[in-house]
Structure formats: C-alpha cells, structure tokens
Chain A
Amino acid sequence: MEDEVLKSGVASGRVQKMTALIVDDNRVNQTIHHRLLQNLGIENQVVGNGKEAIDVHCSGKNFDLILMDLDMPVMNGIEATRKLRAMGIQSTIAGVSSRSLTDNIQEFIEAGLDDFQEKPLTIAKLVSILRKVQNHNN
C-alpha cells in the first residue's frame, strides 16, 4: 500500500522525483535493487564497488539516495562511505548487507550512514529508507 502511495506521489509531482545510486558487486543484487527502485518510480544507476561510486560522484553526478553494500572488492562500503562524506556528499546513504546489526556493523554506521538495512531489501524496507530521504530533502 505504502509503495503505491509513494509511486502515485512521484507520478503526480507531489513527491519530487528521486534519484538513487546502487553500489553492489553482485549482479543478482544489482538487478533486484534496480528493479525494485524502478518499480517505485526512482531513477537509478548501478555501480560495482565503492571506487566506482566515488568516481561517479567525481564526474559531477549527485543522487538523493545511495544504497551501499558492505562487502565489495576494490573498495568496500565502509571506506566508500567515509570517502563520500569527506568529499562533502550529503546524500542519504543507506548501508545494506546480509550481515546483521549484531555482526559489528558499528564501523559501517560510524563511517557516515544515515540508515542500515539487513538484506534482503524488501519493498517495505525500501519505502522506509525513501521516507528518510524525503525527510532529509525537506
């Protein structure tokens, strides 16, 4: 129900069209998250690791939301989040991982996350994240 409200909000212009960056090294996760966001009317881009997330921001792009995976090659989610905050990026960064909060996610949160959600990302979890983005933007 909530996702329909959000979708109609985006469609009618009451909710500003959001943009998102998906940072995940796994193709299956990339596809799932991409489609979930797309179905909610959120324009989104996908990159494969933390370094690519930094590079895409260095190219001048900006996003309302960054879905940041934790375990990635080249540059993991903790380092990427830290670097993005150091660059002054104020987007809502939501960490997503199959590791639970009890698995010492503290370092990830302290790197600069606004939210953390345990995988799998469901519509309900995504809507909860998007509400935070809306509040952040307002």
Chain B
Amino acid sequence: MLICIPGVNPQGTMQNSWQSDNHCLSNLSLKLLYLHAELFHSHHGLLEEYVQSLFDEGIVNDQFSQIQTLKSMEQPDLVVQLIDAYLVDVEMILSELTSYSDFPDVDFSKVTLLAHKVKDRSSCIGAEHVRLACDELIQASVQMNKQNFVRALSWIKKEFSCTQDKLESYAQHGHADGA
C-alpha cells in the first residue's frame, strides 16, 4: 500500500512523494525511538542533578556513590531496593527507641544497642546526616542521661524524616530511570 507524504522540493514548491507504508512505519518508528531516547537522557540528566544535590546538602556521602556502582544488568534497581530496605529498617528501630523513651526508667543497654544499629545501617547506605545524628544518641545512651537521650532521639527522627523524603524521591525517579 502506498502513502502520500506531503513535502517541499528544493525550489520551495509543494511536492508530494509516495512511499510504501512499510517505509513510513519504519520512519515513524525511528522518530519515536529518537524521541524516547531524548526523553530518557533528559530524565537521566535530572536524576543525576538530583543525586548531586543530595551530596551538596550533605544528606548522603561517598558511600552512596559506592552503592551506585553495585547495580548491574541483572539487578538494575538494586540501589532502590537497598534504599527501601534501609528506610523500613531504620523506621522500625526508631519506633522501638521511641517506645523505650516513654518509660520512666529507660533500659539504656537496649537503647545503646539500637542506636548503634541505626548508625550501622546509615553508615552502610551513606546516609550522612542520620549517621552523624547517631553519635549524640549513642553518647546520651552510654551516659544514661534520659533528658539528652530524648533530645537526641528527637533530632535523629527529624534528620531521618528529611533523609527519608529525599531518598524516597530518588527511589521514585530511580524506578522510572531503571536505576
């Protein structure tokens, strides 16, 4: 089947050409492919900029860069999976810490262990702000100072909430990007 393709000749006058529908579809496919590639590169560029902003704000550190290098063809969304697991894990630990803070007598041996767990998880994923906030919490727990512990816990929850928002945004973009 032939399809009419309107066009303009070098002299500037209208000149139609006739192409087979297969040739047309092939051209259309190429154009769509090109458009898709443009969109992909544009989106990928935005993601890279977003990641850079996370570094600039100190939300993440070099360890996060190391994590990025671990993804492969077989597991393109490995980083997103790790982020999701980290966020779920730390949220649970912070919830447990909060429950301990509600008691008049805090079991500081338990909360010290939990505080170290948050630091451990945060160090390995590269969540810098949360990692730094852990040191205050650990110190307060070791000193068995409830007032400082409550204050440090409040700070770490604030830092985690901010980090959670940022990493969740990254994860959403990452899914779309195949990251």
Q: Is the interface of B mostly helix, strand, loop or mixed?
A: helix
| Shortest Cβ-Cβ A-B pairs, 7 listed | A98-B120, A35-B70, A120-B63, A98-B123, A98-B119, A119-B123, A120-B124
Instruction: Enumerate 25 A-B pairs (CB-CB under 8 Å) in ascending A order.
Output: A26-B117, A26-B120, A26-B121, A27-B85, A28-B82, A28-B86, A28-B89, A29-B121, A31-B78, A31-B81, A35-B70, A35-B78, A39-B70, A71-B117, A71-B120, A97-B120, A98-B119, A98-B120, A98-B124, A99-B116, A119-B120, A120-B66, A122-B62, A122-B63, A122-B66
- B67 touches A (CB below 8 Å): yes
Task: State whether B63 touches A31 (Cβ < 8 A).
Answer: no
Number of interface residues of B (CB under 8 A): 21
A122 to B61 CA separation, bound complex (whole angstroms): 12
State the Cβ distance, B163 to closest chain A Cβ, in Å: 14
Is the pair B82, A98 in contact by a Cβ cutoff of 8 Å?
A: no
Q: In the complex, what distance in Å separates the CA atom of A119 from the CA atom of B120?
A: 7
Scoring B residues 71 to 95 as 1 if CB is less than 8 Å from chain A, else 0, what string do you get?
0000000100110011001000000
* Chain A contact residue count (CB 8 A cutoff): 18
